[in-house]
Amino acid sequence: MSSQDLKEKIKLKAQQLGFILSGVTTPDPPDHYSTFEAWLAQGHHGTMDYLARDRSRARRADPREILPECQSILVLATPYSPPRSPEEPAEDVALRGQVAAYAWGDDYHGVLPARMKELVQFIEEQVGHSVKNRWYTDSGPILERDLAQRAGIGWIGKNTCLIHPKHGSYFLLSEIFLDLVLEPDPPFRTDHCGTCTRCIEACPTDCILPNRTLDATRCSSYLTIELKDDIPSALREKIGDWVFGCDICQMVCPWNRFAEEGDPSFGDKNPLHSLPEELTLSTQEFNQRFKRSPIKRAKRRGYLRNVAVALGNKGDRIALPVLQNVSSDEEPMLREHAQWAIARINERIEATQKGEKGFHEP
């Protein structure tokens, strides 16, 4: 079997497993590694210190540091559904928060590895011998989007997402390092963003930088997921009602008009109840409800911190009693953010009352 025939068989099997896009590249150093180093030097990674460790950087600089025998890297993309409007009546969703679309279903870290393992088994059956391999899905020290662009899957957009001209950007990336020679696919070299700046203009925290990187310390996804400390006061209002992640820069991207329904594992249900109800979750209840969800990454303290901020931004006095309860929680970070939310709501109530009074005065 020729290398090209083998690659086509692998891609067909990948598609059957739910990977709608696939491409092959070499394990050569990534083209944009210098951009990554500059990003680290500017401190745009925030508290994600694991990105700056020497071992991690060496592996990102050269994929062969991960698997010295690697001869090909198979890059895969799995779709998830775009954000959807709530199906409940408006009064039932008034105090719901927003969750990034990829987190509406099961955690992809628990789903995609089994599919990659099955794909590797298929490859070994085709070649008739075992193949040294490593696989990752947003879990290894590699520059995923760089490899994906080089494998022909799409281009890196101004919002830093990998974008495919027919599928948009709502997909999850995975990679399989193989001790196997496969014909590389041509890189995706065309930049289809053009002069469009919708993502930059729509970002509420102004985190999108001119060189197609993000200042993570200002990104709502970082603030609601990766950051384990207090959310900076100046950014809390800008987060709005996002309690886990953010999709705004993808929602406004014109290329996502082509996005279709995704893999049912990653978006079959809204994972949230009303925000006041979320704020009453104990540690045990949080762990039980989100044990298969990406939301568990935020842990209870981070998640309830986000919920408190969202309630403060919604400004509805109905949330005051539950926020008062949390303002005496044993966790200092929760107390601080609940108190901030209470102050925000009271400010809005006071402003409304003043407005009403002024309106009725002759």
Where are the strands (E) in the chain, listed by range? Answer: 21-25, 72-79, 98-99, 133-136, 155-156, 162-163, 171-178, 242-244
d(CA 182, CA 4): 7
| Cβ within 8 Å of residue 200, ≥6 positions away | 158, 159, 208
pTM beyond cutoff 0.95: no
Write the pLDDT tens digit of every residue in 274-293: 999 999 999 999 999 999 99
Write the pLDDT tens digit of every residue in 52-99: 999 999 999 999 999 999 999 999 999 999 987 655 555 556 788 999
Average the pLDDT over 132-156 and give the result: 96
- Active site positions, annotated: 138
Domain ranges of the chain: 1-272
Structure tokens at 335: 């107390």
pLDDT at 362 over 80: no
Average the pLDDT over 17-42 and give the result: 97
Write the pLDDT tens digit of every residue in 192-234: 999 999 999 999 999 999 999 999 999 999 999 999 999 999 9
Which region among 31-35, 206-210, 216-220, 263-267 has the lowest average model confidence (pLDDT)? Answer: 263-267
pLDDT at 85: 62
* DSSP codes, 76-98: EEEE-PPP----S-HHHHTT--E
62 φ, ψ (degrees, to nearest 5): -150, 105
User: Is the Cβ–Cβ distance between 314 and 127 less than 8 Å?
Assistant: no
d(CA 31, CA 176): 19
The SS3 of residue 325 is helix
